[in-house]
Amino acid sequence: MSDAVLGRTPLTAWETMGNDGMMDRPPEWIDVSDICVVLRRHRTDDIDAFHAIIEASRDHLRPYMPWADQTRDDTAAFIGRTAEMWHAGSDFSYLVTRPYDIGSDEIEQLLGGCGLHARLGPGALEIGYWLRHDATGGGVMTAVARRLTAVAFALTDIDRVEIHCDQSNGRSAAIPQRLGYTLDRLVDQPIAAAGEQGRSMVWVTHRSPIPPAPPTP
């Protein structure tokens, strides 16, 4: 499948990588090859397709996503903000897509959204994620969160990654558990969606320390 069809930019996505293998910011697309998924930046021509999967999944999203009933104009405004936030380095949002071929046509299916959010202060990023109602339960988001965790730790000066979810959201909480995150604390928060209980679980993982070099014989 061609990079042009998928909107991928393999060279520029990694052009901020330094000589030490670290990056200043995440790549614009991420291949999660073990589950045939590609994470890529939003484009302005994604508005209708992106809004369609939100509309189709409103009942599924409503318990935990306060934006589940947003309008098309809201979706368009969000996609516009993603470019601004990416440029500012404050938020790196991705579409979760599955590319595939039908005959000679190369297309992609939109599965949901995810991101690396710089809202925790220096040295840390938060991973957020959601999937359309018919894409859950197959390990997609576990694989995506695993890949985003690795990307976060490939960034300069990032040594902590967190995943936050309401304590009643067992399916979301299962993802950091599978990935070896530690439940660090419970935090009271305002209830923003119908299914929330007002207690947020904060799951945390840290960059593995580099072992010291063995002594020279």
Question: Domain holding 84: CATH number?
Answer: 3.40.630.30
| pLDDT value, residue 74 | 98
Half-sphere CA count of 156, side-chain side, radius 13 A:
11
**Residue 24 maps to a domain:** yes
**Residue 77 maps to a domain:** yes
pLDDT, one tens digit per residue, over 15-43 is 344 445 688 899 999 999 999 999 999 99
pLDDT, one tens digit per residue, over 34-76 is 999 999 999 999 999 999 999 999 999 999 999 999 999 999 9
State which residues form the domain around 14.
3-161
Residues of the chain falling short of pLDDT 70? 1-21, 101-105, 209-217
**Residue 186 maps to a domain:** no
Whole-angstrom distance, CA of residue 6 vs CA of residue 149: 23
Q: Is the CB of residue 61 less than 8 Å from the CB of residue 151? A: no
Other CB atoms within 10 Å distance of the CB of residue 41: 21
**Residue 197 maps to a domain:** no
| Structural domain count of the chain | 1
**Residue 38 maps to a domain:** yes
**Residue 82 maps to a domain:** yes
